[in-house]
Structure 1
Protein backbone atom coordinates (compact mmCIF):
# COMPACT_ATOMS: atom_id res chain seq x y z
CA UNK A 1 0.00 0.00 0.00
CA UNK A 2 1.37 3.40 -0.98
CA UNK A 3 0.14 6.29 1.12
CA UNK A 4 0.35 9.76 -0.38
CA UNK A 5 1.10 12.05 2.54
CA UNK A 6 0.04 15.69 2.44
CA UNK A 7 1.59 18.31 4.69
CA UNK A 8 -0.86 20.49 6.58
CA UNK A 9 -1.07 24.07 5.36
CA UNK A 10 -0.93 25.06 9.04
CA UNK A 11 2.43 23.39 9.60
CA UNK A 12 5.31 25.69 10.25
CA UNK A 13 6.68 27.61 13.17
CA UNK A 14 10.28 28.42 13.91
CA UNK A 15 12.47 26.14 11.78
CA UNK A 16 9.31 24.33 10.59
CA UNK A 17 9.07 22.64 14.00
CA UNK A 18 5.31 21.98 13.85
CA UNK A 19 4.95 19.66 10.87
CA UNK A 20 1.94 17.40 10.51
CA UNK A 21 1.10 15.24 7.51
CA UNK A 22 -2.13 13.43 6.73
CA UNK A 23 -2.53 10.42 4.48
CA UNK A 24 -5.55 8.39 3.40
CA UNK A 25 -4.91 4.80 4.37
CA UNK A 26 -6.46 1.70 2.83
CA UNK A 27 -10.20 2.32 2.24
CA UNK A 28 -12.13 1.68 5.42
CA UNK A 29 -9.05 1.96 7.64
CA UNK A 30 -8.98 5.71 8.18
CA UNK A 31 -6.60 8.64 8.03
CA UNK A 32 -2.94 8.48 9.05
CA UNK A 33 -1.39 11.38 10.97
CA UNK A 34 2.39 11.62 11.28
CA UNK A 35 5.27 13.98 12.04
CA UNK A 36 6.76 15.00 8.70
CA UNK A 37 10.18 15.38 10.31
CA UNK A 38 10.12 11.68 11.24
CA UNK A 39 8.30 9.89 8.38
CA UNK A 40 9.65 6.49 9.40
CA UNK A 41 8.57 6.96 13.01
CA UNK A 42 5.10 5.56 12.45
CA UNK A 43 1.71 7.21 12.36
CA UNK A 44 -1.49 7.55 14.33
CA UNK A 45 -4.55 6.02 12.66
CA UNK A 46 -7.84 7.88 13.13
CA UNK A 47 -11.30 7.40 11.67
CA UNK A 48 -12.67 10.42 9.83
CA UNK A 49 -14.98 11.04 12.82
CA UNK A 50 -12.05 10.95 15.25
CA UNK A 51 -10.01 13.29 13.05
CA UNK A 52 -12.93 15.74 12.87
CA UNK A 53 -13.13 15.64 16.68
CA UNK A 54 -9.41 16.36 17.05
CA UNK A 55 -9.66 19.28 14.63
CA UNK A 56 -12.69 20.67 16.48
CA UNK A 57 -10.80 20.48 19.80
CA UNK A 58 -7.78 22.23 18.30
CA UNK A 59 -9.96 25.02 16.93
CA UNK A 60 -11.77 25.39 20.25
CA UNK A 61 -8.46 25.58 22.13
CA UNK A 62 -7.08 28.16 19.68
CA UNK A 63 -10.16 30.36 20.12
CA UNK A 64 -10.36 30.07 23.77
Structure 2
Protein backbone atom coordinates (compact mmCIF):
# COMPACT_ATOMS: atom_id res chain seq x y z
CA UNK A 1 0.00 0.00 0.00
CA UNK A 2 2.69 2.48 1.02
CA UNK A 3 4.78 2.16 -2.16
CA UNK A 4 1.68 2.77 -4.30
CA UNK A 5 0.85 5.94 -2.40
CA UNK A 6 4.43 7.16 -2.73
CA UNK A 7 4.46 6.38 -6.45
CA UNK A 8 1.23 8.33 -7.02
CA UNK A 9 2.44 11.56 -5.39
CA UNK A 10 3.47 13.21 -8.66
CA UNK A 11 0.26 12.18 -10.45
CA UNK A 12 -1.81 13.52 -7.57
CA UNK A 13 0.05 16.84 -7.60
CA UNK A 14 -0.55 17.20 -11.35
CA UNK A 15 -4.21 16.27 -11.00
CA UNK A 16 -5.04 18.86 -8.35
CA UNK A 17 -2.75 21.69 -9.49
CA UNK A 18 -5.47 23.50 -11.45
CA UNK A 19 -7.89 23.31 -8.53
CA UNK A 20 -5.30 24.51 -6.02
CA UNK A 21 -4.67 27.43 -8.38
CA UNK A 22 -8.36 28.30 -8.31
CA UNK A 23 -8.34 28.29 -4.50
CA UNK A 24 -5.12 30.33 -4.34
CA UNK A 25 -6.64 33.00 -6.58
CA UNK A 26 -9.82 33.44 -4.55
CA UNK A 27 -10.54 36.32 -2.20
CA UNK A 28 -12.18 34.60 0.76
CA UNK A 29 -13.44 36.72 3.67
CA UNK A 30 -12.75 35.78 7.27
CA UNK A 31 -15.02 33.18 8.77
CA UNK A 32 -17.98 34.34 10.75
CA UNK A 33 -19.31 32.86 13.97
CA UNK A 34 -20.48 29.28 13.97
CA UNK A 35 -23.73 28.91 12.03
CA UNK A 36 -23.36 32.29 10.35
CA UNK A 37 -24.98 32.62 6.92
CA UNK A 38 -21.75 34.27 5.79
CA UNK A 39 -19.98 30.92 6.27
CA UNK A 40 -22.47 29.25 3.95
CA UNK A 41 -21.80 31.97 1.39
CA UNK A 42 -18.07 31.23 1.57
CA UNK A 43 -18.74 27.53 1.02
CA UNK A 44 -20.97 28.31 -1.93
CA UNK A 45 -18.37 30.62 -3.46
CA UNK A 46 -15.63 27.97 -3.16
CA UNK A 47 -17.89 25.20 -4.42
CA UNK A 48 -19.05 27.22 -7.41
CA UNK A 49 -15.50 28.15 -8.39
CA UNK A 50 -14.28 24.55 -8.17
CA UNK A 51 -17.31 23.28 -10.08
CA UNK A 52 -16.74 25.83 -12.85
CA UNK A 53 -13.11 24.73 -13.11
CA UNK A 54 -14.18 21.09 -13.29
CA UNK A 55 -16.61 21.85 -16.11
CA UNK A 56 -13.91 23.80 -17.97
CA UNK A 57 -11.46 20.90 -17.65
CA UNK A 58 -14.10 18.43 -18.85
CA UNK A 59 -14.97 20.65 -21.84
CA UNK A 60 -11.30 20.98 -22.77
CA UNK A 61 -10.75 17.22 -22.71
CA UNK A 62 -13.86 16.22 -24.66
What's the TM-score bracket when you normalise by the shorter of the two chains? Answer: 0.3 to 0.5
**More relative contact order, 1 or 2 (CA 8 Å, 6+ apart):** 2
Structure whose alpha-carbon radius of gyration is higher: 2
Pick the structure with more strand per residue: 1
Pick the structure with more helix per residue: 2
TM-score normalized by the length of structure 2: 0.35
